[in-house]
Amino acid sequence: MSESEPEKIVKLVIGLDEHYNFMNFVDPAMPTRLKLDLTERCLLVFTLSDQLINAGWSFQRRPIEIDRDYGVNFSSFVWVPYGIDGEDSPRSRFKIIYECARMGEYTYSLLMMDSHGQLINLDPVIENGTGHIEGSKA
């Protein structure tokens, strides 16, 4: 038995701003921080920006790891075809389902590789209903 994909879709386009900070470029004119506030079941779609793809970047064979999730809140990832100017860009987009089964704060690692084969790991935070306020002490 398999459940359908959630109706809510959260898109993240991973790119670098002029200060070399990783940002979400869903709206290229107004990039935002890579922060997820997950309050309901949703489909997460991670895509490398055209800028990074053109520079030879890709996600690693395993593009994401969720710290301390144990398969409760997040499904396995699935590669999604993506390309620029009609050409396929392998390992540049994947999706994963957030099940909203357990509240908490998680760190996820996006696992990427640059054009030289150097492995790049990025570890943003996911907040999903804990009431945690950034900058406050736990």
Give the single-character DSSP code of 108.
Answer: E
135 found inside a domain: no
Instruction: Provide the domain count of the chain.
Output: 1
19 found inside a domain: yes
Which of the four pLDDT bands, split at 50, 70 and 90, describes residue 131? Answer: very low
Answer whether 103's CB lies under 8 Å from 128's CB.
yes
Residue 40's nearest CA partner among 112, 96, 99 is: 99
Tens-digit pLDDT profile for residues 73-99 = 888 899 999 988 888 999 999 999 988
81 found inside a domain: yes
Tens-digit pLDDT profile for residues 102-130 = 777 777 899 999 999 999 999 887 766 54
Quote the pTM value: 0.85
89 found inside a domain: yes
Answer whether 25's CB lies under 8 Å from 48's CB.
no
1 found inside a domain: no
> Any idea which residue has 């993506």 for tokens?
82
25 found inside a domain: yes
The CATH number that applies at residue 115 is 2.60.40.420
Question: What's the CA angle centered on 131, arms 9 and 64, to 5 degrees?
Answer: 45
4 found inside a domain: no
Tens-digit pLDDT profile for residues 28-46 = 999 999 887 788 889 999 9
133 found inside a domain: no
Residue 54 domain boundaries: 9-128
- 68: tokens are 């301390």
